[in-house]
Structure 1
Amino acid sequence: MQGDQHRQHISGQFNAELDAMKNHLLEMGGLVEQQLSRAMVALLARDSGQAELVVQADQQINDMELQIDEECSRILARRQPAASDLRLVLAVAKSTTDLERIGDEATRIARQATKLSELPPSSGTTPEYRFISNHVGAMLRQSLDSFARLDITKAIDVVLDEGTIDEQREAAMQSLVNLMKDDSQSIDGVVHEMWALRGLERVGAHATNIAEQVIYLVLGRDVRHMRSGELQALLESNGAEERS
């Protein structure tokens, strides 16, 4: 089931309020994506200038969160939405919180980049580390795209993908531990990279939360504690419905 279900109200103003709320969420998501990407560039290049840009923009993300929260509260109070409209407001409110927290993680990663820029160069970041940063960035992008399109196939893919993040983090952590063993001079830098890696893992978790809200919005089903087999069955069932 895909497409926008929230356009059939008698009140054109209500439609406009719902659309604005959703669009503001996606606008915030775009900014958060940009912040995360910039933070990773700063970290991998040990670029304190790029890192400072991320830190400075954090307040803008916080302000957007407050704006969207106010829109959600106003709609709940004035419109008393029901059914799918209520799910939309709740999904937007929860996803806004996850986006704000991803913004916080991007800021923390940027601060680690600043600290790394003050240390001597080392043999540096592992291939696994670069891979996981690209992976969680793709998860965030896909979760936002699934929200924009109300595409639960993409949303379920994101949720199913979360399990691989833990495996990738463990592999990257092991590479960093090995680096410390081989080069004691790298310890300070590796500690900062480990903190950044932990932040990336959290980004993946928040992206998954957003995808779960899309599934809840479209199907009215809470999948937060579903096992992978149940999610796979849900994905296959949705595919069968779309083909019929």
Structure 2
Amino acid sequence: MSKHMFFHREIDQLKDMVITLGTLVEDRLRRACAILETQDEEESRKIMTSDWEVDDMEIRVEEECLKILALHQPVARDLRLIVAVIKINSELERIADIAVNLAKRILTISEKKTSDFVYVLDYQPMAAKIMEMVKTCLDALVTEDAALARQIFLMDDEVNRARDQAYKTVIEEIGRQPADAACLVNLYLIARHLERIGDRATNIAEEIIYLVEGEIVRSSEDP
């Protein structure tokens, strides 16, 4: 096998690896969003203890990128691909970390709430939107579709508005449920975690545009 063919086989393997990581992250995120509705403490603990799988895959992807850089010294679009994958790899791992944080918040609320505590926020529309953002990112990465990646920016605006509304709701509710003020703050922090996942998805979209078009793009609201 020629060096050129070997290089492109390694590139294809790298793409498969980062998509596998994305699938793992999607699964963690889906499970974390589900417990926002069920408040399932057992499932929350399972999410918290399974994070090693994502961490392990993230390390493997990074090591593969560094190996390709060292052995083949890619240039032009191939180099952009490696740079983009390194950054996307990191963003995916952070999304998985935030999914763990969501599980931790649910446990904290369950442990500290009073018997009269009311969950005043419906996270399902916001959770559905950030899951759509992550899926769209992965689809755009597979197809190398910059136009699809740009749709993420509009979705992120919706998520930011939902976060702002969650903040207003929690502030108003603290006056009605003062004994559960700490739990209400944690409710807002859940919305904040979801918004941060949107930020991470936006960063991935920016890297896809860079990969496809060679243009460095930054959205209007970067984390």
What TM-score results when the alignment is normalised by the length of structure 1? 0.84
Task: Give the residue type in structure 2 aligned to 1:107.
Answer: V
Q: 1:157 to 1:81 in 2, by over 3 A?
A: same
The residue identity in structure 2 corresponding to 1:214 is I
Find the counterpart in structure 2 of residue 64 from structure 1: 57
Q: Say if 2:35 is the partner of 1:42.
A: yes
Whether contact under 8 Å (1:159, 1:212) holds in the other structure is no
| Match for residue 123 of structure 1 among 118, 121, 124 | 118
Q: Tell me, in whole angstroms, the C-alpha distance in 2 between the residues paired with 1:91 and 1:171.
A: 33
Separation of aligned partners in 1, 2:216 and 2:120: 38
Question: Quick check: 1:102–1:203 contact (8 Å CA) kept in 2?
Answer: yes
Unaligned segments of structure 2, at least 5 residues: none
- Shifted more, 181-190 versus 53-62: the winner is 181-190
SS in 2 for 1:11: helix
Q: In the TM superposition, what is the alpha-carbon distance from 1:225 to its structure 2 partner?
A: 5.1
Alpha-carbon contact 1:43-1:112 (below 8 Å) kept: no
Distance in 2 separating the partners of 1:189 and 1:226: 32
Secondary structure of the residue aligned to 2:98 is helix
Equivalent position of 1:23 in the other structure: 16
Please, which of 75, 78, 82 is the counterpart of residue 82 of structure 1?
75
Q: Distance in 2 between matches of 1:106 and 1:70?
A: 24
Matches within 5 A, 1:1-244: 11-118=4-111, 119-120=113-114, 122-127=117-122, 129-224=123-218
Q: CA deviation at 1:12?
A: 2.1
SS of alignment partner, residue 189 of structure 1: helix
C-alpha deviations, 1:135-174, integer Å up to 9, x for none?
1111111111100111111101112332232221101111
For 1:154 and 1:68, the matched residues in 2 are separated by 24
Give 1:108 shift. 0.8
Could you list the runs of 4 or more consecutive aligned residues of structure 1 that deviate by over 4 angstroms after TM superposition? Answer: none
**Aligned pairs, number:** 218
Aligned residues of 2:14 and 2:61 also touching (Cα < 8 A) = yes
Contact 1:44–1:125 (Cα < 8 Å) also in 2 = no
Residues 120, 16 of structure 1: CA spacing in aligned structure 2 closer, same or farther, 3 A cutoff?
A: farther
Secondary structure of the residue that 1:224 maps to in structure 2? coil
- State the 1:186 CA deviation: 3.2
SS in 1 for 2:44: helix
Which stretch of the first structure deviates more once superposed, 146-155 or 41-50?
A: 41-50
Q: Report the more deviating stretch, 72-81 or 11-20.
A: 11-20
Q: Percent identity?
A: 32
- What corresponds to 1:238 in structure 2? none
What's the TM-score once normalised by structure 2's chain length? Answer: 0.91
Unmatched 5+ stretches in structure 1: 1-8, 228-244
In 2, the alpha carbon distance for the partners of 1:35 and 1:86 equals: 30
| CA–CA separation in structure 2 for the residues paired with 1:85 and 1:18 | 8
Q: 1:215 is matched by which residue type in structure 2?
A: I
Per the alignment, do residues 99 and 125 of structure 1 end up closer, same or farther by CA in structure 2, a change over 3 Å counting?
farther
